Amino acid sequence: MRPLFWTLTGFAATVAVGLALALAYFLGPAEMPGREAVVLIRPGMRLPAIALELQEQGLIRSAQVFVLLAKLPGHTGMAKAGEFLLSSGWTPQEILRVITTTSGIQHRIVVREGLPWWATAKLYENENLTTRPEFEQAMHNATLLQKYGLPGANAEGFLFPETYQMAHTALDGGEAVVEAMLREFDKQAKKLWPQGPPPPEELLRVVTLASLVERETGDPGERPRIAGVFANRLRLGMRLQCDPTTIYGLGPDFDGNLKRAHLEDAANPYNTYARAGLPPGPICSPGLASLQAALNPEANEFIYFVAKGDGTHEFSKTLDEHNRAVNIFQRHRDPAAYRSAPQAKNPPKPAPKPRAGRG
């Protein structure tokens, strides 16, 4: 019996050593030195499919062992959807920890003030977080608009400019992206309307006016004054004659060459040369400062403004003043001549041809 005992003992020891070596092999890094790889875990993706993806990318040696490992006590967390930067030099335990306890790769998207929706969509498309068609579809999602109490048929103007950190969620398409921006607008709006937002028509009016202010100047100190100019022209029944609105109506394929035919085209609903009042909706997403300016325009008597070439504008109360300013600042004549010239006293007639904006 003793020889059989030692034989069985030796066999068991051999098996134990073999199992230990196999376990060490499958629970060790797949490669040394390791290499990095990005793995996309889609929403609803089950653990066996995730493990198979990891094995196919050479990040683990065995999908089956990885699944068994995940079922052991202490590894009960669910894998999260997103992009994960992993390494084949990590153990399966470390890979499991990363995909169950971290948010994965965070993309940093800087959305500046004054962008139309298609330029904003491009920023997210560049990070592979969505596509322009998905973004546009989410912009018109009636359920999403209703959830945030937004007027109009789309989210233009309410995609709040901010720096966003976002993970790739794959199946969400543009909805996750658009909703994050609408949520930020909702948060910022509480600073403007602590008691709650105004009625839909007033909200749309304020955001639309703010979008014009945003597109007309980058100087924070001028925003209330420019809002005041637009308010004056609206009160007097004058057309706003604002280039950025007309350009917006030409859409994302506009080549940058604004022609007289564009300014005379009454079929463009955003053409404030040919149409009275505000355009039908915002032309970009304004920042908080422009929204505040639209809510509290400066009380002034200015009807016109023209760019001076240094990022600021010259404001005028009469058509004669404005024409002189255009001559000086747009045709590079001596500004001192403008300062010393006698100023006209007569108010302008309603709806004059020179525009309100930059001359």
Predicted local confidence at residue 336, as pLDDT? 47
Q: Are 358 and 327 in contact (CB under 8 A)?
A: no
Predicted local confidence at residue 262, as pLDDT? 92
CA distance 190 to 274: 36
Q: Which residue, chain included where needed, has tokens 């499919």? A: 49
The 10s digit of each residue's pLDDT in 132-168 is 999 999 999 999 999 999 998 899 999 999 999 988 8
Predicted local confidence at residue 167, as pLDDT? 82
Q: Which residues neighbour 96 within 8 Å (Cβ) at sequence distance 6 or greater?
A: 66, 69, 70, 75
Predicted local confidence at residue 76, as pLDDT? 56
Predicted local confidence at residue 354, as pLDDT? 41
Predicted local confidence at residue 3, as pLDDT? 60
CA distance 277 to 264: 16
Q: Are 109 and 130 in contact (CB under 8 A)?
A: no
Domains of the chain, by residue range, sit at: 28-101, 107-192, 200-340
The 10s digit of each residue's pLDDT in 54-105 is 999 999 999 999 998 888 876 656 888 888 999 999 999 999 999 988 888 8
List C-alpha distances in Å: 314 to 64, 67, 73, 292, 352: 73, 70, 72, 22, 18
- pTM, two decimals, is 0.78
Residues of the chain with pLDDT under 70: 1-26, 74-77, 169-172, 331-359
Phi, psi at residue 347, to the nearest 5°? Answer: -70, 155
Q: Which helix (H) or strand (E) holds 8?
A: helix 2-26
Q: Which CATH fold would you assign to the domain 28-101?
A: Dna Ligase; domain 1 (3.30.1490)
